Each structure stands twice: as C-alpha cells, then as structure tokens.
A and B are shown apart, each in its own frame.
Chain A
Amino acid sequence: MQEKELRILSRGGQGAVTAAHILVEAAVAANLYAQAVPSFGQERQGAPVYTFARISQEPVESHTYVYEPDIVVVFDPFLMELGIDPLQGIKDHATLVINDKKLPEQLRGKFAKTGIVDAWGITHELIGNVPPNAAMLGAIAKTTGLIQIEHITQAIMNVLGERIAKVNAKCAQVAYERTVVSET
C-alpha cells in the first residue's frame, strides 16, 4: 500500500482531532504506520477545522498538512455553505467519506469512491447529542478499507474514557454497517 493522505473537514467540537488520533491508534494496531496532524487556529466551537492524517506501511516522513488528499472526510456538509470545498487539491481517483443522508449535488461524479453515512442519525440514536466522530471512523473503515473495523473499535476503547468508550465503539460498528459505498 502506498501512503494514503487524508483531509478531514469538520467544525470545532465535532471531535475530528480525536478521530484522527484514534485512526493512528487503529493503524498501529494493524501494524501500519500513521500520523495525525491537527492544524491550529482559533478553534472556536463551530469554526471550520482541518485535520490531516497519513497511513502507510513505512514510517511517515512528511510533517506537513495535506494538500493533495487521497481521501476527503466531511464531518459536516454545512461546511460547504461556509465556502469550504471538499474538492480542493484532491488526487485523481480520490475517495470521499461524508456525513449526510445522500451525496450532495456538487460532489456527484467527482470522487472515484464515496461512502455516505448518516453519522448524526446513528450517533443520536445510540448516544445522543454528541460529536459524530466515532460514527465517522466506522464510515472511514468501511469506505477506504485501509483499516479493519475491529481495529477501529479497539482503538476507541483504548483512547476514550471507560464511561463513553463502549457506546462509541458500538456507534462506529453500526456506522460501518450502514455506510453506503459506491464506486464510479
């Protein structure tokens, strides 16, 4: 596997930084190398947040943001109304994972592979009004196939506090099952 670069688009409070960290934890469990790079700004609740990740079979050398992602993860489709463009810089044959009920019009046909998941719906159903990050991790596992869902759920158990780990792991599992993946 060549190094895969991810760009995660979210808003402050949606747990993308934690999700990226869990993703690295899961990759390590899968005997891969990985990296999660937060970008730093005035991270107010609700403000757009960029988080980056890399997954590879070799130690990751680059320590920069991701400008040409293989995989774009959208935690919140409302970001597009704020002028954030999920298409920016994407590589050919890129993959999209998006939290939505259906693929937004403007993203149709732009990605080689898409995974659609109602992360909010699943999260509300299983936990309540909390960040959709665990569900998004399940969707990333399903859509990209880079990391097995077992590694994701185990990483959630390792990283999150005991009180909330189990239900979040469940959330990731359900999202994994419900993510609709299509390839063009």
Chain B
Amino acid sequence: MGKRVAISGNHSIAEGVRLAKVDVVAAYPITPQTPMVEKVADFINQGRLDAKYIAVESEHSALTAVVGASVMGTRVFTASAGAGLALMHEIVGVASGNRLPIVMGIANRSLPSPWSLQADHSDSMAERDLGWIQLYAASCQEALDYTLLAYRIAEEVRLPVMVCIDGFFLTHTTEAVDLPDQADVDQFLPAFERGDIYLDPDDPMTINQLNSEATFTELKYRHNEALNSVVDLFPHVAKEFEERFGRKHSLCTAVGCEGADVVVVTLGSSSGTARKVAGQMRADGQKIGTLQVSCFRPFPKQEVIDHLKHAKAVAVVDRSWALGTDGPLAQEVKSAFYSAGLNVPVYNFVGGLGGRDLSEATVKRVIGKALELKEQEEQALYPIWIDVKEEAK
C-alpha cells in the first residue's frame, strides 16, 4: 500500500531511483542537486539499493560514464543542474542519439552569468532540442512519480529522460509524498532489458561511429519519430500508473480552461501556485484557467491546442531567459496555435529568474496584465518581464 513520508524533491527523485532498482549511478555534485545524489549514495551505502556509484571528476564525465554503463545493459541514473548540465551538453546529444534510456534528475538552476545558485529553467531549456524527453514536476510527489514514469517510458522508446525540478522551490522543499511499495513498482517497471545496441563480445558491434550524409538524416528522423511517439505512449503508461498507484498524471494538466478569459500556462513548481490563485479567482466568479505542461519534450501540441482553443486569451509564463525572443514555452504554444489556425492571443511573461519567487502576487499580476491586454486588444510582440524591478528599466 505504500506509506506517506515527508521528503524533499531531491529526496523524492532519489527514492524513485531506489525503487527503480538502478544499477549504475555516476554524478558530480552541484547546488541545488547535491542532496539528490547524496541520498542515492546513502541508499547504496545502506544496502537499500544494489548499485555502483561512480563519483566522477566532472559532470561531463558523469553523463559519459552512464552512457558507457547504459550500453553495457545496465539501468543508470545521473543528475545535474545549471552550469553542470551545460558542461554535459556535448554528451546530452550522444546519450539521445544512441537511444539510451538514461534518466537524469535536473535540479533547475540558472545558467551563468551572473552566477546564481537558484532556480530557473535556462539550464534545461538550453538542452531542449537534443532529443531527450523532458518532464517538469510541480511537486515533490510528481518528482517521485515522474522518475518512475521516466524509466518506464525511456526503456519502451529507448530515449533518455530529464526529470526537472525547480531548484530550492522543489529540491529543498519538504512535502508529504506517497511512497509506493517496491512490489508495486516492480510490477510497473519490469527488470531492465538491453536495447538494440550493446557491447558484448558474444555479439560484437561498433557503436556511435562516424556517419555521413548518406545515413545521418535517417538516424535523426527515427530519433525524432521515437521522441514524438511519447505523446501517444505517455497516456497509456500514465493510466497503468494510475491503476496501480492511484495517482493521475498527464502530458499537461488543465483546470478551468473551457471558456476562460485567461488561461495561465506554466512549467514546474509555479504550476500549483497558478492553480491556487486561479482557483481563488474562480471562486470569486472570474473565469481563469490554468494549464500545467508536464511534458515539454516532446511538446504535446494537440493536447495543448485542445485545452486552450476555447480560451479567450492565454498567458504563458516562462521561468527562463530566452533572450532576444519569446520564452521557450511561449514559442511552443504560439507555434501550436498557428499550426492549428487558432487566433487566440498569447501573451508571454518572463519571471521567476535566478531564484526570484514566482509568488501568488506575481501570478495575479500576470493574469491582470493579460486581461488588460486582451481588453485593449493589444499585441505584445516580445515577452513582458513581469517581475522586473522598476529601477532596471
């Protein structure tokens, strides 16, 4: 039946790793990811997880080592954040290009510069187009559940997954989390089976070699097809998860979107905050909806269109500094809308950067501004920095 515990987001992902019976872990500590990998190391030390921990000398080597362990046919885990993820960048493409079912915990932290220890999505967004599945959790419970979903999906489609949790607002926040029983997880997540590529003297092959223009496009095409197939696969796996564990998960979660004057679209920990604010406003008679995007890659275009097509306006909150254009989430929503021929105004708000709290007041400001723009039928070509201090202007 499992039990309810009080654990942080970092600890939640570590519990997911333990329950997934990972074989090899390689990681390099970086704030705010550190307690996540410390916890995994602790599980191994206590004998609660039969795995090997490689305390590598850099993030680059962390992802490299798990790529190596993955092609040997073991279930693997690594984790990083911010500049550490940026250092991994080259290997991020290697992991997905080789179709390896690696799961990586991301404790979202802003990229330098300026240096920041704290949350925004600029780190994982910089990796968004390299063919990994990206899941963004909104709570410690989701951090755990997404980790289990990640292994299951990764191993079905042979693609790596980033499970992203906002630095401090999830990594270091303690919450009540329902911890599943090992026996149930074992039913949900079968023992690891090696994929099509492996290093085995009994069946030798060469992996990851040079390719030319004669084959490159086809390999990337199949990679892309596999990634896009997750949009169809996810609901099936989530349904099975719900039947076994009683918790519902979706590519994106909509509340009160039908006919809403404004729908607030979010990624990560601010999703719950937005739901709470919108819920209060609905109770006061205002028509405000929310859409939490959990799966950012592949981007569930159709689901997003279906949820948002009857809204009167959409306010997309990007906790990321995509400088020079729209935030990444807004780009996706606008792109999906255009493809579907929707003419719903989409306003992009950038906020919560470098650890600035995306507070309930900020969410209210986003909604207020979106209503105002809609009322005045105004366009906003570039994002509105919703929580920037006046002195910066």
Contact = CB atoms under 8 A, between A and B. Distances in A.
A65 to B, nearest CB: 5
Interface string A34-67: 1111111000000000000000000111111101
A62 B360 contact: yes
Contact of B275 (A20, A25, A33, A61): A61
A37 B6 contact: no
A24 interface: yes
22 contacts: A21-B174, A24-B175, A24-B176, A25-B174, A28-B4, A28-B5, A32-B176, A34-B6, A35-B175, A36-B173, A37-B169, A37-B173, A38-B168, A39-B168, A40-B117, A60-B175, A60-B176, A63-B139, A63-B170, A63-B272, A64-B358, A64-B359
Interface residues of A, number: 24
Given A27-B6, A37-B169, A61 B141 contact: no
Given A35-B173, A40-B118, 8 more contacts: A24-B176, A37-B169, A39-B168, A40-B172, A61-B272, A63-B273, A65-B357, A155-B6
Contacts, number: 82
A28 B166 contact: no
Contacts of B5: 28
A117 to B, nearest CB: 23
By secondary structure, the A interface counts as mixed
Contacts of B359: 64-65, 67
Question: What are the 3 closest A-B residue pairs judged by CB atoms, nearest first?
Answer: A61-B272, A63-B269, A25-B6
Interface in B307-361: 355, 357-361
B63 interface: no
Interface in B156-180: 166, 168-170, 172-176
B138 interface: yes
Interface of A: 20-21, 24-25, 27-28, 32-40, 59-65, 67, 155
A143 B218 CA distance: 67
Contact of B270 (A21, A32, A39, A63): A63
A62 to B, nearest CB: 5
A91 B359 CA distance: 17
Contacts of A27: 6, 176
A36 B168 CA distance: 11
Contacts of B168: 37-40
A167 B139 CA distance: 33
Contacts of A62: 272-273, 276, 360
Contacts of A37: 168-169, 172-173
B276 A20 contact: no
Given A59-B141, A61-B272, A61-B273, A67 B361 contact: yes
A113 to B, nearest CB: 24
Interface centre among B32, B138, B276 (most CB of A within 10 A): B276
Contact of B176 (A33, A39, A61): A33
A67 B360 contact: yes
Nearest to A68: B360
Nearest to B268: A63
A33 B168 CA distance: 19
A65 B359 CA distance: 7
Interface string B355-373: 1011111000000000000
Nearest to A65: B357
Contact of B173 (A25, A38, A61, A67): A38
Interface in B101-146: 117-118, 138-139, 141
A40 B166 CA distance: 13
A60 B273 CA distance: 9
Q: Which of B4, B32, B139, B176 has the most CB of A within 10 A?
A: B176
A103 B177 CA distance: 37
A25 B5 CA distance: 7
A104 B4 CA distance: 39
Contacts of A39: 168
Contacts of A33: 175-176
Which of A35, A59, A61, A64 has the most B CB atoms < 10 Å from its CB?
Answer: A64
A62 B166 CA distance: 13
B373 to A, nearest CB: 24
B355 A63 contact: no
